[in-house]
Amino acid sequence: MRSFVVFASLLGIGLLTGCPDRTISEVSPEQGRVEFKDIPVTVNRDIDILFVIDDSPSMADKQTNLKNNFPNFINVLNTIEGGLPNVHLGVVTSDLGASGADGMVAPAIPGSVGGCSSTGKNGALQTFAAGTAVTGKYISDVASATPGMRTTNYTGTLASAFSSIASAGALGCGFEQHIEAAKRALQPNNAANAGFIRASAYLAIIILADEDDCSMEHSTLIASDTTQLGPLQSFRCTRYGIICDTGGTDTSSMNVIGPKANCHSNESGQYLTKISDYVTFFKGLKADPNNVIVAGIVGVPTPFEVELRAPGGSTTQIPALAHSCTYTDSSNQPEVADPAIRIKQLLDSFPNRSTFSTICQQDLSTGLVLIAQLLKSVLGSPCIDGTLATPYDCSVSDVANYGAANQVETVLPACNGTTPAAATNKPCWAIEMDAANCTANSHLTLKVERNTAPDQNTHVVSYCVTEATNAGSGSGSN
């Protein structure tokens, strides 16, 4: 084992005030932003990545955008120390037909694209393209027993293999059940997806969607009764699945035209599954909930407004959720996305293990790189991806029982002496150049020098002050 741990990369960014404290719980630098890092001393290079792709009729261009920019995602993972981690990579879609989490199935919606019938794709891993380059229902690319070699189940490049399984099309049900699709895909007893989830691996769930989640607890949400529930349109997902502290405190006021604020999942509603239940499920998939990472490339959550709009083929205006962002695609066509309130609430329930970016952009590389940087950090990248403010100002700690009620933190000092190896106050930290392994920005790592190895379950956690930059495009991480 090496005598030190090197780490630090951009994960969570937040504007904070005050001056740096020497504990991880109270750091609040005023110089700019903060680069947070959590790295386990025992590195695990296994990660299972599940993409949940919206396949409703408005998603064709956005899927192409995803496939075109996927190489940027892989390029970041390739910069992890030791190269590409051991990945399983699978795709499911948001199409669960007319089924609810209770196991009941509503009648098919007449005239709907894709039929919104039966259980749709039901959370099964998809390969889509005929003659796909992938053997099986998911991509496997792991290190082999021979040093420097990989064992794979696809031909061609990883990017081309992903493109073949991510060609979801745009004929899926317009009542998109993104989160429930992920749950069905990851159910331990789902024989259709056997082998995808490894008990020892990290789990990453990445949602690409231009509408919010409409995961139905009861399929009666899409029953044909318009007297009670209103027109059979996806606004039902908003009216019965969201409440807003300002302008929408119940289902009646949610149906009123106008702007609303402080919106969140209706956790006491009768039709959509509670976000808190999904959080419990996903975290329960791993012995350590910190091994679950979630990300979304979706519509920005604000502004949030109900407007009158005529659905396609009709002249009658009915309540509808106004789009929260717009852009022009690569073919110069207008594209839109709706506020993803429920999805954003899911992401926010995984602090330091989630990231969000807007889908309203011609180039999705920014969002994909942000997600890859998050995965890189969680897996234990040695490199700093941000630009540290000078003089260097970090808080670094060894943390036992990380994230548990009995968490114990030991603050580490900056190394004294001319070099970290010569320090007399070990364990200690120092920032050093590592151009060979760190290709980003200033090629720096944060080295922890030790006399003795820590307990294998220890996490090293740091906060370092960085130069203030413009986050841009509504993107960010938690």
Which position has the higher pLDDT, 241 or 473?
A: 241
Structure confidence by residue, pLDDT tens digits, 21-62: 444 444 444 445 788 888 788 778 999 999 999 999 889 899
Give the per-residue pLDDT at 243. Answer: 98
Question: Are 256 and 324 contained in the same domain?
Answer: yes
Instruction: Name the one residue in this structure whose structure tokens are 């808080």.
Output: 395
Q: Bridge partners of 140?
A: 88
Give the per-residue pLDDT at 325. Answer: 97
Q: Bridge partners of 355?
A: 295, 477
* Average of per-residue pLDDT across 448-461: 90
Cα separation, 384 vs 7, whole angstroms: 7
* Average of per-residue pLDDT across 116-133: 84
Domain limits for position 459: 4-43+382-477
Structure confidence by residue, pLDDT tens digits, 372-427: 989 988 887 667 778 888 888 999 999 998 877 888 999 999 999 889 999 999 99
Structure confidence by residue, pLDDT tens digits, 287-345: 989 899 999 999 999 999 999 999 877 789 999 999 999 999 888 889 999 999 999 99
Cα separation, 160 vs 162, whole angstroms: 5
Question: Are 272 and 409 contained in the same domain?
Answer: no
Residue 129: band (very low, low, confident or very high) from pLDDT cuts 50, 70, 90: low
Q: Which tokens hold the place of 67?
A: 């496939």
Picking from 316, 349, 379, the residue at the C-terminal end of a domain is: 379
Picking from 311, 345, 379, the residue at the C-terminal end of a domain is: 379
**What's 273's DSSP letter?**
P
Question: Are 391 and 417 contained in the same domain?
Answer: yes
Question: Are 217 and 206 contained in the same domain?
Answer: yes
- What is the enclosing helix (H) or strand (E) of 333? none
How many folded domains does the chain comprise? 2
Q: Bridge partners of 394?
A: 464
pTM equals 0.83
Cα separation, 245 vs 255, whole angstroms: 14
Cα separation, 196 vs 321, whole angstroms: 36
**What's 91's DSSP letter?**
E
Picking from 335, 354, 379, the residue at the C-terminal end of a domain is: 379
Residue 197 has a CB neighbour count (10 Å cut-off) of 20
Instruction: Name the one residue in this structure whose structure tokens are 């189940």.
Output: 153
Residue 463 has a CB neighbour count (10 Å cut-off) of 27
Question: Are 440 and 314 contained in the same domain?
Answer: no
Residue 20: band (very low, low, confident or very high) from pLDDT cuts 50, 70, 90: very low
Question: Are 374 and 399 contained in the same domain?
Answer: no
Cα separation, 440 vs 372, whole angstroms: 14
Structure confidence by residue, pLDDT tens digits, 138-180: 999 999 988 889 999 999 999 989 988 988 888 999 999 999 9
Question: Are 293 and 410 contained in the same domain?
Answer: no
Question: Are 98 and 226 contained in the same domain?
Answer: yes
Question: Are 362 and 394 contained in the same domain?
Answer: no
262 pLDDT more than 80? yes
Q: What is the CATH number of the domain that holds 279?
A: 3.40.50.410
Give the per-residue pLDDT at 131. Answer: 61
